A = this chain, B = another copy of it.
Amino acid sequence: VSVAEKGKVYLVGAGPGDPDLLTLKAARLLAEADVILHDDLVSPSILALSGERALLMSVGKRCGRKKITQAAIHDLMISSARRKLAVVRLKAGDPLIFGRAGEEMDALRAAQIPFEVVPGVTAASSAAALLETSLTDRRVASKLIVFSGHHAAGEMAKQGLCPAIFAEDATVAIYMPGDNLSEMASTLLRNGVSGSLPCVAVSDASRPEARYQACRLSGLAHLILPPGPRLLLVGRAFESVLGGGAPVETASLDGVLELARSIHLE
């Protein structure tokens, strides 16, 4: 079993929020790190696993308080490693799915700082676990497509690719879909995507605060979104979440789940 090396940066996935879904390696690195630079989205119960001596710094750019630049994050990683500290750069979910790990690795390479990537459980996996629905159930889906909300509406409309991406046999997971889904919905509908496709907005999937709301694409503009970090899932795989098929069992989460059925058939 390795230990956190001094003078090295670990780009670590914190997983979807539940500390129990950290990897063994991530938990050990958190306990041993001298410096932990974390995203805003990483939950306090995960940060509580850090060692007593560790210096924790939020370098998130989301919450809009004081802004930290990407260059400043690079400088913090590099200067900490040069002081021969063991540095964990802790990112929500998996470090190489969205976020700016690409730029951060380039900066570390340029500064000749050794680094290592520790993968984590990504949000789509924990949302599927909450919904007890396979993302790629071979009976209904042959592919999983992962987008960020930033890209979902605009680019696809431009290229006219909506029906190819939001196909009958695809499961689409949109990370950080934003608060206003009506533009995305109207773009998709205008470009020929079926209004009957099930959509599920999931927030805080792995945590006690988990919530989800389901509708069809034609009703997406009117969906009341659950609070918290959110993922939007679209595809035939989620038909049963709408209540048409097998019941969704939520034994382990009784009392915290609600299912809003705002079904708007075309």
Residues of A within 8 A of B (CB): 1, 13, 15-16, 18-25, 27-28, 94-103, 105-106, 109, 114-122, 125-126, 128-129, 132-139, 142-148, 151, 155, 159, 161, 164-165, 167, 169, 206, 237, 246-247, 249, 251-252
Contacts and interface: CB of A to CB of B under 8 A. Distances in A.
A119 B129 contact: yes
* A interface: dominant SS: mixed
A61 to B, nearest CB: 13
Given A21-B24, A161-B167, 9 more contacts: A15-B23, A20-B24, A21-B119, A22-B24, A23-B23, A94-B121, A96-B135, A97-B136, A114-B251
List the 9 shortest-distance A-B pairs measured between CB atoms, nearest first. A102-B137, A164-B164, A102-B134, A119-B125, A117-B129, A20-B25, A96-B128, A142-B151, A144-B146
A94 B206 CA distance: 14
Contacts of A117: 128-129, 132
